[in-house]
Amino acid sequence: MKTLIPFASIGVVLLGLSACNSKVETSRNAALDSSAAALDNKAAVVRKDSKVDAADQVKQASMNADATTDAVKASAEADKKDAVQSADAVRQSGEQAAKALEEKAKEIRTQKSTAPEAGNTP
């Protein structure tokens, strides 16, 4: 038991010394804390910037989609106008062709009524 007390005393002293931080250790811990804080701040900035970038991308995509929609609508309107003009041209062409045929029929009827009868000639 007599040997136990000196060994226990030495153990307590060694534990006490190892528990004390030296100036170097304190400085090292402060530097690590500072580095960790800087990384946390950088992470917050990156997070904020990525949110802003994502919002900008959504806004740009929306603007592009709106521009594309407007272009498609304009193109569709132009196609519709062209189709109406083409239909009008077909209608007019058909009307002219019908009038020409009616005129030809009228000429044929006129020839029939003015032609001499060829029934009783010697």
Chunked mean pLDDT (size 10), the chain, 122 residues? 66 59 87 95 97 96 96 96 96 96 92 63 52
Q: Report pLDDT for 23.
A: 86
Contacts of residue 21, Cβ cutoff 8 Å, sequence gap at least 6: 29
Tokens 């500072």: give the residue. 34
| Cα 57 to Cα 43: distance, rounded to the nearest angstrom | 21
Supply 57's token pair.
């991308």
Q: Report pLDDT for 27.
A: 92
Q: Enter the pTM of the model.
A: 0.46
- Whole-angstrom CA distances from 77 to 67, 68, 73, 84 are 15, 14, 6, 10
